[in-house]
Amino acid sequence: MTSPWSRSTTWTDGELSIAGVPVSTLAARFGTPSYVLDVDDLRSRCRDVVTAAHRAGEQHGIETAVYYASKAFSSTAVLRWAHAEGLRVDVASLGELATALRAEVPGAAIGLHGNNKSEEEIDLALQHGVGRIVIDSIPEIELVAERAAAAGVVAPVMVRVTTGVHAGGHEYIATAHEDQKFGLSLATGAAAEAVEAILQTPQLTLLGLHSHIGSQIFAADGFVESARALFRLRSEIAAASGVLLPELDLGGGFGVAYTPDDDAPDVPALVAELVATVARVAAETGEPAPALSFEPGRSLVGPAMTTLYRVGTVKPVRLEGGGERLYVSVDGGMSDNIRTVLYDATYTAVLASRTADAEAVLSRVVGKHCESGDIVVRDVMLPADIRRGDLLAVPVTGAYGRSLASNYNQLPRPGVVAVGDGEPREIVRRETIDDLLALDVG
Ligand code: LLP
C-alpha cells in the first residue's frame, strides 16, 4: 500500500487541500480542469533520490548523477526546481532542449536522447556544450561526428544498449527488448560495433553505456540484470580495446502507486541498492567501478500533481449482468489524461470539495469527448449523491499527463498551478479558445 496523494495533500475542514490551499479556492481562482503541482512533494522526491544516490556512491566510491527525464513533464519552473535540488536534465527533442535552456540549466548538465535526432537538435545541443548525446543507432554516429566537426567541437556520447531485459507495465512502454525502435542490440553485436566505431571517431568521446529498460517498473531485478549486462559489455570492450568506459547509465522507469492498491518501490532505496550492486559486481571482477547515472521522470513528478475536475452530468447506467454503474462526467477527459485509454492505466478519484454521507457506489469517471473510450478512471467507488458542481480530484497525474495532452475536440489544454511555493500560481498557463484559434491561419 502506497498513498497515491502528494505529500502536502490533507483533508481539512471538509475538503481536500493541497499545500494548505483548499481545492475550492484553487478551482475558483484558476478554473478546472487544472493540474495542481505540490512543489514540496516534487522537490523532496528530487532531493531524496539525489541524496540516496550520492550517499550510496560515497559509501562505495562511485560517482553518481541523476537526470530528470523531462518528457514526463517539461516546464521551466519544474526544471529549475529539479536542477536546484541537484538533478541534471534529460531531453529528447528540440522543445525539451529549448525548455531546459530557457530554465538556465547549464548545457553540461543536459543529456540529449532520441531515436531520430534532427541536425537542428544536435547542433543546438553541441552549441550549448551538452554533457552527453546518447547514440541510438549506427548511422547516428556519423551524423553526430559530422555536426561536431562542423561546430569544431568533440561531442561527448554514450551508446544506448538494448540489453534484452523485459520489464515495464505495458508493451508500449517497455523498451529494452529486441523488437522495438530504441537502442543498439547487445545480442546481435550492434552495441559493440557502435562502440568500436565511436572509439575510432576523433570527433566523439565515448563516456559510457546506457540502458533504459522500460517504465512503471516495480521490481529491482530488471535493473540489476541490465546493470550486470552493461558491466559485462564494459569489461569486454576493455579487453578488446583497452578502453575502460567511465560511466554506465541505468535509465529511469521506477514505478509509482496510482492507487492505494499499488505497492510501489521506495525509489531512493532502489537507487541505493543499484549503486551497491554495481559496486559488488566491480569488486567481484576486480575492475574499477564506473560512475553511475539514472534518469527518473515519472517517480519524481507523477505523484506531485493532482488533476482537479468539475463534475457535470451524472448518469446511472444499468449493467448487462445486473447492477448499476454511475457515469460521472468531468470537464476534461482523454485530452488531459490519455493514459487510461492508451495503456489501460489505473487511477483513483475522490469527491474533493465536500464530505458525503451517501453510500459509495460503483462509478466510472469519464470525460467530455466524443468517444465512448474517453475514460479517466475506469472503476472507482464514489458517493451516490455526487452531482454537478462538485470537484473531483485524480491523483498522480504529473507524469505523462500534461506532456501527452491534446486539443481533441478543440479543448484548450489545462494549466498547471503550483502550490506550496509562495502564493499559488500558474506555472503553465491554461490555454484559451483564442490560443487555439491563433494557430488557425485560414
Ligand atoms: N530515460 C529514457 C531514455 C526514457 O525513454 C524514459 C521514458 C525515461 C528515462 C523516464 O522514464 P520514467 O522514469 O518516467 O518511467 N508515456 C508513457 C511512458 C513513456 C516513457 C518514455 N520514456 C506513460 O505514460 O506511461
Going by alpha carbons, the residue nearest to atom 19 of ligand 1 is 173
pLDDT at 170 (0 to 100)? 54
Ligand 1 centroid to residue 153 C-alpha, Å: 30
Q: Which atom of ligand 1 is nearest to the CA of 254?
A: 13
Query: For residue 242, what are the β-bridge partners?
Result: none
* Per-residue pLDDT at 2: 84
Q: Which of 239, 319, 370, 439 is catalytic?
A: 370
Q: Is the CB of 251 under 6 A from ligand 1?
A: yes
Distance CA 31, CA 26 (A): 7
Predicted confidence at residue 178, as pLDDT, reads: 72
Q: Is the peptide bond before 33 cis (omega within 30 degrees of 0)?
A: yes
Give 175 Cα–ligand 1 centroid separation in angstroms: 9
Short-list 94, 15, 89, 111, CA closest to 308? 15
Which bin fits 405, alpha (ψ -120 to 50), beta or left (φ > 0)?
Answer: beta
Q: Is 254 in the pocket of ligand 1 (CB under 6 A)?
A: yes
Q: Does ligand 1 have an atom closer than 6 angstroms to the CB of 215?
A: yes
How far, in Å, is the centroid of ligand 1 from the Cα of 85?
21
DSSP-assigned beta bridge partners for residue 381: 362
SS3 55: helix
Per-10-residue mean pLDDT, the chain, length 442? 93 96 98 98 98 98 98 98 98 98 98 98 98 98 98 98 76 63 93 97 98 94 95 96 97 97 96 97 96 98 98 97 96 98 97 98 98 97 98 98 98 98 98 98 96
Q: Is 301 a pocket residue for ligand 1 (Cβ < 6 Å)?
A: no
User: Best substitution site from 91, 298, 400 to test ligand 1's pocket, by max atoms within 8 Å of Cβ?
Assistant: 298
Cell of 422: 509562495
Helix (H, G, I), strand (E, B) or coil at 158: strand
Cβ contacts of 438 within 8 Å, gap of 6 or more: none
Q: Using a 6 Å cutoff on CB, does residue 23 contact ligand 1?
A: no
Q: How are beta strands 305-318 and 34-38 bridged, if at all?
A: antiparallel
Give the alpha-carbon dihedral of 39, 42, 47, 48, to 10 degrees: 130
Residue 78 Cβ contacting ligand 1 at under 6 Å = no
Structure confidence at residue 254 (pLDDT): 97
Cα(348)–Cα(344) distance, integer angstroms: 13
Q: How far is CA 272 from the centre of its chain?
A: 20
Q: Which CATH class is domain 39-300?
A: alpha beta
Span(s) in the chain for CATH 3.20.20.10: 39-300
Q: What's the rounded Cα separation, in Å, for the pair 104 and 95?
A: 14
Cell of 385: 449523491
Q: Whose CA is nearest to atom 16 of ligand 1?
A: 400
b/e string for 57-80 if b means 16 or more Cβ within 10 A?
Answer: beebebebbbbbbbbbbbbbbbbb
Please give the distance, rounded to the nearest whole angstrom, from the Cα atom of residue 367 to the centre of ligand 1: 25
* Predicted local confidence at residue 174, as pLDDT: 57
**Burial label, 370 (beta-carbon count in 10 A; 0-12, 13-18, 19+):** exposed
C-alpha dihedral over 140, 94, 41, 7, to 10 degrees?
A: -90
β-sheet bridge partners, residue 387 = none
Report the relative pairing of strands 291-294 and 391-395 from DSSP bridges.
Answer: unpaired
Pocket of ligand 1 contains residue 203 by CB under 6 Å? no
What's the Cα-to-Cα distance from 69 to each of 93, 96, 166, rounded to whole Å?
12, 10, 21
Beta bridge partners of 210: 160, 249
User: Partners of 35 in the beta sheet?
Assistant: 307, 416
b/e map of 153-179 (b: 16 or more CB within 10 Å)?
Answer: eebbbbbbbbbbbebbbeeebbbbbee
Ligand 1 closest atom vs CA 299: 13
In the chain, CATH 2.40.37.10 sits at 9-31+304-438
d(CA 138, CA 277): 30
C-alpha 72 – ligand 1 centre gap (Å): 7
Q: How far apart are CA 130 and CA 68, in angstroms?
A: 15
The reported pLDDT for the residue numbered 205 is 98
pLDDT value of position 168: 59
Instruction: Say how many Å lie between the CA of residue 433 and the centre of ligand 1.
Output: 31
**For ligand 1, what atom is nearest to the CA of residue 210?**
3
**Residue 177: its pLDDT value, please?**
65
205 CA distance to ligand 1 middle (Å):
26
Ligand 1 atom with least separation from CA of 253: 15
Paired strand residues for 393: 308, 350
Q: Return the residue matching grid coordinates 521506495.
A: 266
Q: How many residues does the chain have?
A: 442
Distance CA 91, CA 379 (A): 35
| 366, 374 contact by CB (below 8 A) | yes
Alpha-carbon gap, residue 292 to 52, rounded angstroms: 13
Question: In three state form, how does the secondary structure of 168-231 look?
Answer: CCCHHHECCCCCCCCCEECCCCHHHHHHHHHHCCCCEEEEEEECCCECCECCCHHHHHHHHHHH
Calpha distance 412→392 (Å, rounded): 19
Q: Can you give the pLDDT at residue 175?
A: 58
- Which ligand 1 atom sits closest to the C-alpha of 404? 16
Instruction: Give the closest residue to 254 by CA, choosing from 262, 245, 246, 243.
Output: 262
What's the DSSP call for residue 254?
Answer: B
Take atom 8 of ligand 1 and give the residue whose Cα is closest. 252
Distance separating alpha carbons of residues 184 and 162, to the nearest angstrom: 5
Instruction: Look up 46 and say whether it is catalytic.
Output: no
Fold of 9-31+304-438: Lyase, Ornithine Decarboxylase; Chain A, domain 1 (2.40.37)
For residue 70, how far is its CA from the centre of ligand 1 (angstroms)?
A: 9
Return the amino acid letter for 359.
E
- Ligand 1 neighbourhood includes 339 CB (under 6 angstroms): yes
| Contact 218 CB / ligand 1 (< 6 Å) | no
- The structure's pTM equals 0.97
